[in-house]
Structure formats: structure tokens, C-alpha cells
Amino acid sequence: MTLQVFGLPVSRGVAIGRAVLVASSRVDVAHYFIAPDQIPHEIERLRQARDAVADEIERLKREVPDDAPPELVALLDVHLMLLHDETLTGATKQWITERHYNAEWALSAQLEVLARQFDEMEDDYLRERKADIEQVVERLLRAMSRQSVSTLAAVSQTRERDWGGEEPLVLIAGDIAPADMLQFKRSVFQGFVTDVGGRTSHTAIVARSMDIPAVVGAREASRLIRQDDWVIIDGDAGVVIVDPSPMVLEEYRFRQRQSQLERERLARLRHTPAVTLDGEQVALLANIELPQDAPAALAAGAVGVGLFRTEFLFMNRQGELPGEDEQYEAYRAAVEAMQGLPVTIRTVDVGADKPLERMSMSELRHEHTLNPALGLRAIRWSLSEPSMFRMQLRAILRASAHGKVRLLIPMLAHANEIRQTFEILARAKQQLRDAGVAHTDVEVGAMIEVPAAALQLPLFLRHFDFISIGTNDLIQYTLAIDRADEAVAHLYDPWHPAVLRLIADAIRLARQAGKDVSVCGEMAGEPAFTPLLLAMGLRSFSMHPSQIPAVKQRILRSDTQKLALHLASVLASDDPHAESKRLWTSGREAAAERAFSP
């Protein structure tokens, strides 16, 4: 039976494929595909975990006090029985063998199947046995997490492999952790659907960077959709269609073909300079997350990297931080891959929706922090770990010897944070000089993503060489909206007058001071905002490579002088979005109509 699930459209286009469910669990579970020759190894891991849990339960049975209720021993016997039941372990082996899931993912997938079966039972007693299955699976997952297996190495070896099946796949999940998104980034999935999240949640941002359709905040999607259901993801409307009719399926396949033709047309603009109708040159830069993303930036026509998010080098490591040499090699690889073009490297921005897994610092764990977006994150964490911070700064400075590197500091808000940052940077430079290690004096910039920073921008302009406006967090903090919370996602409004005035003032003050200013948040990659940002005076946009062609097309059709004439009326309006639409439909300016129209 066809059904529709509604959520938030966060990455445009249409995806059609079989559903692959990532079940939620109280235990952190790694999700990745394995190569065919790794299947026996994963099955052996499953067997070892089962034997370890069986031994643990047998030990518990032996230690049960004589005066304990008999039901306790009976319960342990039930868990032993479930542990050896083929519907659990046998079927899990099938997921490993047929779908090439790693053992943890396969076990979680089978738990999802069994949980649904228990939920559909009419007998109350049998239905409540689902909890026993969940407890057994949790024990197995914990046992596998204790195994001395390098999950990250396995992921690295298999992330590039081709999927052996013929049918396209789409991913359905309650939520997708940043670490898992990193693993899925070059995977076989045609699209994503999650129960939670907002338009600028990390899942949404990565989906846009992958240029694949995604719908987040779909609430019940992971409960309503079953493994292997045919699913259509409409990333334009925010609709997920499950088990579509042949007519609907054909209509969406036609839309897929049209979208592909449009992408191919825009791709022809790759070598066209981004120059407005009135001759203003605009720099279109790329946001990247790993050195391997650099070739895609060049292919899209980027003239540099405006934001290298280094936190992804710190994730998926079971709490073990990357060393200085490892970081240096990653930064050097990105710099060299950009072939002499500038690379802006942001220091690590962890916390909030990007916690480090299994860190000893409980403040970074989402479940231990009352409000992680307002907690120990970004520069606050770096300053609390000065030795780690110096290590990263040394690695970035060393990479600067191989090309043009700029350093970017996230989430600054206080004068003492600026002072401490430059003191630690000076110490890192001195350490390199003492060791005779090659490096250069890099330009240092500040992220403007906290309203306090935007409101005291003259202080920042006195200390920094450039600024970069992070609109995702600036909107979140200005409007007091958790951008990853679908319950308030409808209140996350980039068109809010207060947000636009902060951005306009920051761009104006930076230009007056003769300092470079760019926007590296999601607004930079959204063509609807391109004319407005151009009117504000912005001449440097940084976005995911996949977004560059559409933004470049809008720039080529824009006249900045005529757009600037309408800026004051847009900023003064209580509804800037409506005012911008009125400008393009009024017919007063042909250039404004060309620029502002979708």
C-alpha cells in the first residue's frame, strides 16, 4: 500500500531506491559496507561475540544467590535461548553475506526486523518479549565493541568499493551521526531520510555536499518504512513516497532525467569566470571536509577552499586524537591538491551536533550535556586543551610551506579568547622555529557566528586579517533555535530581519576596514540569497562544490549596482523575503527581475 511521509526538504532532487534501515540503538554502532573477502571475518566476529555473551550469562547464572527469585534464572535461560536462535544470529549472517553489512549493522538490521514482528503480536506477553531481544542484541553489540578491531581501517578500505547489487539504495534512519555520514559520503546511497534534524543539521549539510536528495525531520519514517521497501525521496517537496504505484514511479523517473540534464547544463559554466553584468568579480570558494574532497572543488570551478572543516579528521577514532604528523599530511594533501589556490583551514569545531565519540571529556558527549550548542565547543574546547590546540596549529603552519594557507578560528566571542588564541599561535610558531621546521606566517581570520562577535566587529577587525560569516550558527544563536531540532525547525529563518541586518553590517564594516569578508554558511550556496548578498557587497562566497554552478549562474545574471538600490527596502522590511519577491515581480528593474527570480 502506498503511503507518504512528510519532512523538511534539505537537498534537492529525486532519489528512487530500496530502503536500507539503520536501526537506532542504545549502543554506538558503526555502519559500513565490507568487501567480499571480509565476510568470513565479520561472521567470525559475530560468533566470538555470541560466545562471549553466552559465557557471561552462564557466569551470571552461577553467581545467582540461592535466595534469588527463580524467575531471574529463567530470564537468563531465555536470553541464552535467544542468543542461539537462528532467527537472530542466522539471519544476521545473511545480512553480512548478502548485503555486505559489517557485523554491528547486520545485527541492528535484524533487530529491527524482529522488533516489528513482536510489535505485531496480539498476545501481550509475547509482545513484551521484544525487550529481551533488545537486551540480548545490546549485549552482543557491547561485546563486539570490546573486540580489538580497527573499525576505521575497515571503513577506509571499503568506503570506495562498488556495491555489488543492481538496485539503487536509499538510507532511512532515526538520525545519522556525523561519523556515519562521513563513512556514507562516498557510498552507494542515492538519498537519505531521517526522523530528526533541521535544514542546517549536519545530515542535511553533508547530503547537499554529496548533491543527493534528502528529507529530514520526517518523524515516523524509520518506523513506517521497512527494509527493502521501494522508496521515492522528493528532495524538493520534502515528501517520501513508500511503495509507489507504477504511474507515480514513472513520473519521478522523468523528473530525475530532467534534473540530470539541468546539472549537465550548469556544469558547462565550470570555466566561466564569476563576473556580474556590471563587471564585479566574485570569488566562488569550496567547503571541504577531507583532503579527498579537493578534486571535486576543482572540478566544480572553485577558485580556492574557503572552509576546510578539520573536525572530520578527529571523528570515528574511538576517542583517539590524530597526531601532529597525521594532521600535517592531511592538510598538506589538501593544499597540494588545490594546485596553488588558497586553502582556508578552520581549527577543530567539535561539540553540539559534532561530538567526538568515546571521548573521556563527558562535556563533549551529547547525552551528558544539557545544551551542547551552548557548551564546550569549537574554540572553547581548543582553549581548554592547549597542547592539542598547539599541535593542530603546528600542523597547519607546517602545511603552509606547501601553498597558500589561511587559518580560521571558529566561534570567538570574547576579547580574552582572541588574546589566548594569538598567544597559543605565537607559542606554536616559536616551537617550529626552535625545531627548524619550515612554515610561513599565515593570515588569521575569525568566524563570525555568535551575535556578540557581530555586534563588536570593530574589535575583531583590529586583530584579524579577514572574517568569515558562518550563517548556520549565526542564525541559530540569533533566533535561539536549535538548528538540528525538527520540533523548532520551522522557526529557523535565514530571512529574519535581525539576521540579515547582522550580516549586512558585518560585510559593510569589513569592507570599510579593507578586510576580506566571505560567507561560508549554507546561505552562500543557496541561489535565492545570491542577489541579496551581492547587494550587501559580498564578493566571496564559500559553499559545497555541488552548489557552485547554480550560484555562478545567478551571479552571471546579476547587476550589483542595480541590486544595491533595493537593499535598503529589503532590510527595512518586516518581511524581507516577500519584499525581495515584490522587487522581481514589479517590473521596475529588468536586472532585478533577472537576478531575483528563481
The grid coordinates listed for 50 are 555470541
The candidate with the shortest Cα–Cα distance to 306, out of 418, 456, 466, 182, is: 466
Can you list the positions of beta strands (E) in 8-48? 8-11, 14-22
Please say whether the beta carbons of 193 and 171 come within 8 A. Answer: yes
Please say whether the beta carbons of 489 and 219 come within 8 A. Answer: no
The grid coordinates listed for 246 are 507504477
H helix intervals, 218-323: 221-224, 246-267, 294-299
The one catalytic residue in 202, 496, 544, 566 is: 202
User: What span, in angstroms and rounded, lies between the C-alpha atoms of 389 and 381?
Assistant: 9
C-alpha torsion sign, points 240, 245, 251, 252:
positive
Q: Which helix (H) or strand (E) holds 54?
A: helix 39-62
Q: For this structure, is 202 an active site residue? A: yes
Q: Which residues pair with 164 in a beta bridge?
A: none
The neighbour count for residue 329, using CB atoms within 10 Å, is 16
Q: For this structure, is 100 an active site residue? A: no
CA angle 458, 564, 452 (to 5 degrees): 25
Q: Which residues pair with 448 in a beta bridge?
A: 469
The one catalytic residue in 496, 520, 544, 566 is: 520
Q: Which residues are CB-neighbours of 244 under 8 A, at least 6 positions away?
A: 2, 230, 232, 252
Please say whether the beta carbons of 342 and 305 come within 8 A. Answer: yes
Residues designated as active site: 202, 520
